[in-house]
Every structure is written in structure tokens, then in C-alpha cells.
Amino acid sequence: MTRDRPFLWQTRQMKPVEVAVMVQVNSPIGNLLLSASSRGLTGVQFENDIVERFVVTDAFKKTELKQATQFVHVVEQQLKEYFARQRTAFEVRLDLHGTPFQVDVWKSLARIPYGKTTSYGQQAKWVGRPSAVRAVGGANGRNPVAIVLPCHRVVGANGSLTGFGGGLERKTWLLELEKWK
């Protein structure tokens, strides 16, 4: 699957987030890279993400590594259930790293029900910034936990499919999985 905006993460120099564990898993939409810290899941990345968002470090204690590994195992199982249409919401602690605005936008994605879509404008209203539609789109493009926080459920004001970090082909596939029409 191709990426519709290949240089999204190169728009700004971003220091990679240090994580305790990173695991590649297979999925129906290609390989996914899952990462976690001892505080929660930090990432669900598509295999064609061109910039390192996360870097594994040995700065974590053994107990922290164990906790991070548990977060990855939990979300790996939940993703399998999601792709099998047996799960409609994810239940895993998140460790989000971004600006306060980005984190607010990412958290608001959890409000979008399975099988439904919303617009960037509606999402901007949810975060109390109704005129920041483009900024919301930019934050969604930097969502570090794709699928878990469902940025694929955000569409243009007229219902059209718009940019998606994993590519429009994946966005379409995910929406079809959720029976979006």
C-alpha cells in the first residue's frame, strides 16, 4: 500500500520518543510497528512510516520493560480482534507524546464511534478550537497510535476521504472493515 503524504513527519524536526520495547506484527493492512514505554502504548505505526518516531533504549529497568512488553501484547491481541471484527474499541493505557494541542486532538479521536465518521471541523469543536480545522488535520496526521485512536474515521466536511498517514488505500480498507459506506 502506498502512502499519500510521504513526507509528513519531515515537516518538523522531532526528537524520537524513547521506548522500552518495539515489536513488528503482521496485519491485513501490512506490518505494524507497536511500541510502548512503562507508562503505556506509545505507537502503532505503519511499516512505510519514513521517520523514526520511536527509539528503543536500555534506560528502562527490568520491571519497566516487563510492563511495556505487556502493553504491546495487549494491543497486539486487541488488534487481532479488531481485524476479525470482534472488537470495536481498544482498552490499553496510552503514553502520548506531543504538544498539549496534539494530545487533546488525539484523545478526541476516541469519541468517534466504531463504524461512524466525523469531520475535521467537528473534531476542532470538540477540542474547543472551532477555527483550527487545518491544525486538527495536522495533528491527526501525526497521530502516533493509528487505529487505536481512529484518525481514519475523520473525513472532509463534504464526507470525502482526505489524507491519512497510512495512505488513503488503508483508510478506505479500515472504514470498509467497520462497514462505513
Q: How far apart are CA 110 and CA 90, in angstroms?
A: 9
Catalytic residue, candidates 79, 109, 112, 151? 151
Is 58 among the residues known to form the active site?
no
Per-residue DSSP letters for 96-121? --S-HHHHHHHHHGGGSPTT--EEHH
The answer to whether 105 and 127 are in contact (CB under 8 A) is yes
Q: How far apart are CA 137 and CA 151, in angstroms?
A: 9
The answer to whether 133 and 101 are in contact (CB under 8 A) is no
Q: How far apart are CA 125 and CA 81, in angstroms?
A: 31
- Residue 146, C-alpha cell as written in the block: 493509528
Strands of the 32-37 sheet, one edge to the other = 21-25, 32-37, 40-46
Q: Whose CA is closest to 25, among 78, 91, 92, 86?
A: 78
* Residues tagged active-site: 151
